[in-house]
Amino acid sequence: MIPFAPPRIDQAIIDEVVAALKSGWITTGPRTKEFEKRLTAYCGNKSTLCLNSATAGLEIMLRWFGVGEGDEVILPAYTYSATANVVVHCGARPVLVDIGSDFNMNVANIKAAVTSKTKVIMPVDFAGLPCDYDAVLNVVNDPAVKNLFIAAAPVQSQLGRILILSDAAHSVGANYKNKKTGALTDVSVFSFHAVKNLTTAEGGAIALNLPEPFDNDEVYKFLCVYTLHGQNKDALAKMQKGNWKYDIIEAGYKCNMTDLCAAIGLVELARYDNDMLVKRKLICDTYFNYFKQFDWSELPVLKDTSRETSYHLFPLRIKGITESMRDEIMKRIFDKDVSVNVHFIPLPMLSYYKNMGFNISDYPVAYDTFAREITLPVFYDLTEEQLKMVCNAVQEAVSSVLQEVVNH
Ligand SMILES: *Cc1c(COP(=O)(O)O)cnc(C)c1O
């Protein structure tokens, strides 16, 4: 069976984790701090805080911005549930908007969804392709939109507009107008979950890139405390001789990254551009060049004039099929021992969000995309032979299902 997205675990990763274990320091410490510095240098943003997940990072930033009861947060209907769940955790209302043909939120839909209750927009860089951040920034800076904004917390007054909080779970290393994700908007949150491009087993990071007058280093320092019980000294600082006293200045959260996880991340990041991304691009380009010969294929944007994906997912769409035909095609692909997936089941089709009153018929592009989408395996250790097997399995499954429709 060809798996879908196993992590790359080789001797270099194992050695660094063992070194972290032997160092005697396993929780947040020197390796996490080093990983944060290297991430900031890599992305070109202003400051970075590592946490135990992207979900925690998104929720922490909503809470930092003072999002709560009565507020609205705009996000795409076509994303993983984490993007919306964190809004619900804060007591605010998720406002779902439909996507465009590139899987990302349609900017005209964002603008139409803004109200005086909107506090945050959460774009998702689907499959690793950055959203059009200049266009999103134009929305929040539009005088009419700015006039609607009601600042209800000191940080909201400081920003003076809607916050753009990017769910960049897929897009570490992607480019938009010659800048990397992390440096594209106010705040971006990365995921280092086991299936993501750059993994720490579980993990995430908040890439701060707030405009003037914010001091991003000060925000970083606050967030360190806020994500560790509100305690004014971390475990490492308390280890200093005689430095045992601490204070609690906030009823803080607990979602710090461990040095064991950071050890994996340090190895992953060091070889990310020159090794991981090269391999992922090769796999995606191979799929692209193979499937473009079939008139039934609708290929994802990997690169255009302003942006390039991080090659996280290869979301293939099949033209003119129904949801049940897609399911049958997937079954036949699995029968050939190839794992495929669907990204994502739109939020309005999931029980919790359906019960909240969302209806998939209000999101025609999200539904059409979901119904015709199949995500192909992309991972470092995928061999050339396996790549051919995937191409053949998909081609045969699609052709046979389309042929049966013609014959009926
Ligand atoms: C994986 C993922 C997340 C959640 O990341 P975690 O690190 O598991 O919390 C959020 N949003 C999207 C779009 C994702 O794919």
Long-range (24+ apart) CB contacts under 8 A made by 246-251 are: 249/225, 250/225, 250/226
82, two tokens: 């984490």
In order along its 408 residues, the chain shows pLDDT tens digits of 999 999 999 999 999 999 999 999 999 999 999 999 999 999 999 999 999 999 999 999 999 999 999 999 999 999 999 999 999 999 999 999 999 999 999 999 999 999 999 999 999 999 999 999 999 999 999 999 999 999 999 999 999 999 999 999 999 999 999 999 999 999 999 999 999 999 999 999 999 999 999 999 999 999 999 999 999 888 888 888 888 899 999 999 999 999 999 999 999 999 999 999 999 999 999 999 999 999 999 999 999 999 999 999 999 999 999 999 999 999 999 999 999 999 999 999 999 999 999 999 999 999 999 999 999 999 999 999 999 999 999 999 999 999 998 887
Q: Kind of pairing, strands 204-208 and 373-376?
A: unpaired
175 burial type by CB count under 10 A (0-12 exposed, 13-18 middle, 19+ buried): middle
399 C-alpha to ligand 1 centroid (Å): 33
Distance from residue 361's CA to the centre of ligand 1 (Å): 25
- Closest-CA residue to 7 (of 406, 385, 271, 382): 382
Indicate which atom in ligand 1 lies nearest the CA of residue 191. 7
Instruction: Report CA torsion sign: 177, 178, 181, 184.
Output: negative
Which of 404, 407, 398, 406 shows the shortest CA–CA distance to 294?
Answer: 398
Q: Which atom of ligand 1 is nearest to the CA of 167?
A: 11
Q: Whose CA is nearest to atom 13 of ligand 1?
A: 80
**Could you tell me the maximum CA-CA distance found in the chain, to the nearest angstrom?**
81
Q: Which residues line ligand 1 (CB under 6 A)?
A: 53-55, 79-80, 82-83, 124, 167, 169-170, 191, 193, 204
Q: How is the beta sheet containing 163-167 ordered, strand by strand?
A: 47-51, 204-208, 187-191, 163-167, 118-121, 72-76, 93-97
Tokens describing residue 152: 């209800």
**Residues contacting residue 357 through CB under 8 Å, at least 6 positions apart:** none
Residue 290 CB coordination number (10 Å):
17
pLDDT at residue 238, as a whole number: 81
Kindly list the structural domains of the chain, giving each domain's residue range(s) and its CATH number in brackets, ordered by start: 11-270 (3.40.640.10), 272-407 (3.90.1150.10)
Whole-model pTM? 0.97
Pocket perturbation via mutation, ligand 1, pick of 73, 193, 378 by most ligand atoms within 8 A of CB: 193
Q: How far is the CA of 249 from the centre of ligand 1 (A)?
A: 30
Which residues sit opposite 228 in a β-bridge?
A: 254
Measured by CA distance, the residue closest to atom 5 of ligand 1 is 54
d(CA 227, CA 58): 12
